[in-house]
């Protein structure tokens, strides 16, 4: 009996490890996504507490995707507020580091220009100018680094970690093991963020719907990234059905 062999000349299409389009489809497949996003958007108007609740809502979306469930959950302000503390603090770590770097460079630049003005030295003025140019490159590198870390910071925050920057080796190993998937996760998070900002052009009111929807897409992408990190493998080729179901589940 002959065994059918695959044609070695036919390339096997490799599936992208992060399905960005699938994340958008997953959110849009919920018939009530506009209403649920609008309710979450109203809570965003509450300073600090509103974003804590939003992050808790994202965390529950993250967990639903991990379980293979579909449909956005309704935001529940009280429980979601406490559930959002961990990811909020994890992101706050990064924000504080960025703030400290900006502050140090800003103060140093101000001091150098103050000395240059006080002494009238052209050499000091030139040095201050060079320092400011270097500072711009450092800030650009810092921005790129922060964007590259965001999927990992989000992922670990979703697992309840409040200080992922204090144990960077976990994230470094995850990124080094799956650089393509991490890059796609970064692109997906940025795409979700930009899509969430679209509502700003609709007299800002639309942002109350599009921003929460963007965060929901982001939670889906982070769940995909977490699946890869936890499982350790990237999909080699597409299976018979979509990995991230967008239709009703039984």
pLDDT per position as a tens digit, 84-140: 999 999 999 888 888 888 888 778 777 877 877 777 777 777 777 777 788 888 888
| CA–CA gap between residue 57 and residue 215 (Å, rounded) | 9
Quote the tokens at residue 25.
């489809």
Write down the pTM of the prediction.
0.80
Range picked from 78-82, 133-137, 239-243 for highest mean pLDDT: 78-82
| CA–CA gap between residue 36 and residue 29 (Å, rounded) | 13
How do the domains of the chain map onto residue ranges?
Answer: 20-231
pLDDT per position as a tens digit, 163-207: 888 898 999 999 999 999 999 999 999 999 999 988 777 666 678
DSSP 9: T
The Cβ of residue 194 has, within 10 Å, a number of other Cβ atoms equal to 10
């Amino acid at each position: 009996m002959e065994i059918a062999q695959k044609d070695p000349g036919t390339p096997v299409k490799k599936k992208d490890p992060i399905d960005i389009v699938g994340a958008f489809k997953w959110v849009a497949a919920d018939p009530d996504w506009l209403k649920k996003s609008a309710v979450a958007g109203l809570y965003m108007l509450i300073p600090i507490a509103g974003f804590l609740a939003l992050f808790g809502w994202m965390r529950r979306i993250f967990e639903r995707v991990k379980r293979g469930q579909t449909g956005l959950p309704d935001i529940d302000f009280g429980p979601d507020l406490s559930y959002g503390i961990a990811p909020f603090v994890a992101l706050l770590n990064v924000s504080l580091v960025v703030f400290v770097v900006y502050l140090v460079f800003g103060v140093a630049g101000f001091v150098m220009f103050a000395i240059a003005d006080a002494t009238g030295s052209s050499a000091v003025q030139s040095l201050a100018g060079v320092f400011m140019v270097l500072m711009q490159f450092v800030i650009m590198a810092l921005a790129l680094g922060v964007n590259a870390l965001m999927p990992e910071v989000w992922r670990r925050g979703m697992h309840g970690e409040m200080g992922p920057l204090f144990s960077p080796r976990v994230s470094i190993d995850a990124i080094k093991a799956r650089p393509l998937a991490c890059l796609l996760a970064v692109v997906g998070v940025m795409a979700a963020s930009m899509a969430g900002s679209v509502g700003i052009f609709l007299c800002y009111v639309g942002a109350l719907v599009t921003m929460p929807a963007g965060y929901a897409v982001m939670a889906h992408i982070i769940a995909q990234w977490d699946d890869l990190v936890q499982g350790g493998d990237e999909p080699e080729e597409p299976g018979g059905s979509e990995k991230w179901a967008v239709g009703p589940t039984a």
